Amino acid sequence: MSDDAVSPEEVRHVADLARVDLDDDEVDRFTEQFADILEYFETLDEVPEVDREADLTNVMRPDEERPSLEREAALENAPATEDGYFKGPNVS
Footprint of another protein (CB under 8 A)? 10-11, 14-23, 26, 30, 33-34, 36-38, 40-41, 43-53, 59, 61, 69, 73-74, 76-80, 86-92
By residue count, the chain amounts to: 92
Single-letter amino acid code for the residue at 13 = H
Residue (of 50, 16, 52, 10) closest to 31 by Cα position: 10
Helix (H) or strand (E) holding 86: strand 85-86
Choice between 2 and 69, CB closer to another protein: 69
The least CB distance from residue 30 to another protein, in Å, is: 7
The least CB distance from residue 74 to another protein, in Å, is: 7
Q: What is the largest CA-CA distance in the chain?
A: 58
The least CB distance from residue 79 to another protein, in Å, is: 4
**How far apart are the C-alpha atoms of 21 and 12, rounded to whole Å?**
8
Choice between 5 and 36, CB closer to another protein: 36
